[in-house]
Amino acid sequence: MRVFVTGATGFIGSAVVQQLLGAGHQVLGLTRSDAGAQALQAAGAQPLRGDLADLAGLRQGAEQADAVIHCAFDHDFSKYLANCAQDERVVQALGEVLQGSARPLVITSVTSIGNLAQGQTAIETQFNAQRPNPRIGSERAGNALLQAGVNVSAVRLPQVHDRSKHGLITYLLALARQKGVCAYVGEGHNRWPAAPVQDVAAVYRGAVERAEPGSRYHAVAEEGLRTRDIAEVMARGLGLPAVSVPEQEAGAHFGWLAMFACDDMPASSAWTRQVLGWAPTGPGMLQDLADGLRLGITAA
């Protein structure tokens, strides 16, 4: 297949491109820069210059492809609501091009959309329409496209990591360095799922090759790591104390991260493993975090 990949030079997208090329697919990759275009060409992919605000350019990319994987997302959390709304528009624009064909569109969501209640394990078949995370808009847009006959499926992400990046934990590291403590909320028993980036990329490839309309896949290697354990690994690596913050003070300490720092969001990938034959092989997140801090290569 010829696959159009948004975010093709990003943390996850670049791994997806490698997966696709390694499986014999052709890749048309969206990139904003000359450096990104050169990187894609060096990898064996064809670059397409553009960004998420250029809906016409995104449609052009989808028109040239047999399938689309939408990985790109603006992770500037100071404008998170606006970025989630932008993602809805992108999903809609890509889907409009594919309507009336069997060509698959794989979009990106987060595993917490499958948590029906705080602390309940998310599964692929669950969709919590009341979930307060505004990222839910991406799946709502996908659901509307599905009803319109578009072959759309979703990959839901946990905390995606390697030794240098660790999802939301990258931002917790920056906060810890700023405040001089590695904090968790209450007893720190709330859990975050995680997976290595290369294993996550394999789920995207499996999803686009399976091309099953309406499917949701959980790219989850570890169902739930306690936030206290995460904070303690950070503390050892940074040489800072690990401390508990009362829930009522979480907003003051964590700022925009508070909504996540208080969240208990374990997630299962049992169905994904079964239907895709997916068996993650990468290191655990705590190991990657410890190694990154020890080697001085973490992003924050």
Classified as helix, coil or strand, 86 is helix
Per-residue pLDDT reduced to its tens digit, 85-119: 999 999 999 999 999 999 999 999 999 999 999 89
Q: Residue 132's pLDDT band (boundaries 50, 70, 90)?
A: confident
The reply to whether 161-193+223-266+283-295 shares the fold of 2-159+194-221 is no
Please say whether the beta carbons of 259 and 202 come within 8 A. Answer: no
Residue spans of the domains in the chain: they are: 2-159+194-221, 161-193+223-266+283-295
Task: Give me Rg for the CA atoms of the chain.
Answer: 19
Per-residue pLDDT reduced to its tens digit, 266-299: 999 999 999 999 999 999 999 999 999 999 999 8
Chain position carrying tokens 């969501």: 109
Report d(CA 245, CA 233) in Å as an integer: 17
Domain 161-193+223-266+283-295 architecture: Alpha-Beta Complex (3.90)
Per-residue pLDDT reduced to its tens digit, 194-244: 999 999 999 999 999 999 999 999 999 999 999 999 999 999 999 999 999
Our CA angle for 157, 222, 214, nearest 5°, is 40
Whether the predicted model's global pTM rises above the 0.95 cut: yes
C-beta pairs of 125-132 under 8 Å, 24+ apart in sequence: 125/216, 125/271, 127/216, 132/259
| Class of domain 2-159+194-221 (CATH, top level) | alpha beta
**What is residue 300's predicted lDDT score, i.e. its pLDDT?**
65
